[in-house]
Homo-oligomer: A and B are copies of this chain.
């Protein structure tokens, strides 16, 4: 019988914090298989009771205690989810009293503010950043780059677009991007159009073999996707970055989150909300 475990990520709102917390801990046990379930919006005792019944059932089927990661503000709801036959990691309860003591103040016990709407102004800023990134994708509308917080530069398919969108959504950063074309790569000069924004440039590079793989999915057997061409383009782009002291990182073994947070850090950008 395989070692079968259930893991529940439970929250009174979006479930994002409970999930992020639980997943981080579970990655430390990577030889085990978990049946994972995120359960958001458990905001009444009734919903919690129905869920508790499901967790108890799962314990019986699995012959192992389910792992229950919770981030719930209301103490009554939390109590319902303390299940004998489960291991509960109660993130809120564990830390809140320590903080209350240090801050000399009681927790306000308001639900789900973390990923809720904090203010219309901040929301608007974020949407504006998303729209900016969409409007400045792939070198379009370069004239108003003055407004950009950062301009990502790299060869086609090096990861610029998803990184820009993530920077906008997660940090409210206005991120434009400029794709280095084969013409740009014929010299190691910076493309003229980018010269006024030198201080905002950040380069992305990628392992040529990985680029070859990505481009082949899109245009198999093309010159564009050939390993030789990928090697050439990546080489030229990196020379350009080095020669003009444009900071750059490789996206090859990184997730979008890692690429984005590395850029935030290295370019010392400040989040806008």
Residues on A lying within 8 angstroms of B by beta carbon are 5, 13-17, 20-21, 23-25, 27-32, 38, 40-41, 65, 67, 71, 73, 87, 89, 91-92, 94-96, 98-99, 102-103, 105, 107-110, 112-118, 120, 123-124, 126-127, 130-131, 134, 137, 159, 161-162, 165-166, 169, 210, 213-214, 217, 253-258, 261-262, 264-265, 271
Contacts and interface: CB of A to CB of B under 8 A. Distances in A.
17 contacts: A14-B257, A14-B261, A14-B262, A16-B261, A21-B21, A21-B91, A27-B110, A40-B265, A89-B98, A115-B257, A116-B254, A124-B214, A124-B217, A126-B162, A130-B162, A162-B169, A169-B169
A137 B165 CA distance: 14
Contacts of A108: 28-31
Contacts of A65: 102
Contacts of A254: 116-117
Contacts of A161: 130-131, 134
B40 A261 contact: yes
B166 A103 contact: no
Given A28-B108, A130-B162, 10 more contacts: A5-B103, A21-B21, A27-B110, A28-B109, A30-B110, A38-B271, A40-B261, A41-B265, A87-B98, A131-B161
B162 A127 contact: yes
A262 B41 contact: yes
A103 B30 contact: no
A96 to B, nearest CB: 7
A202 B25 CA distance: 34
Nearest to A114: B24
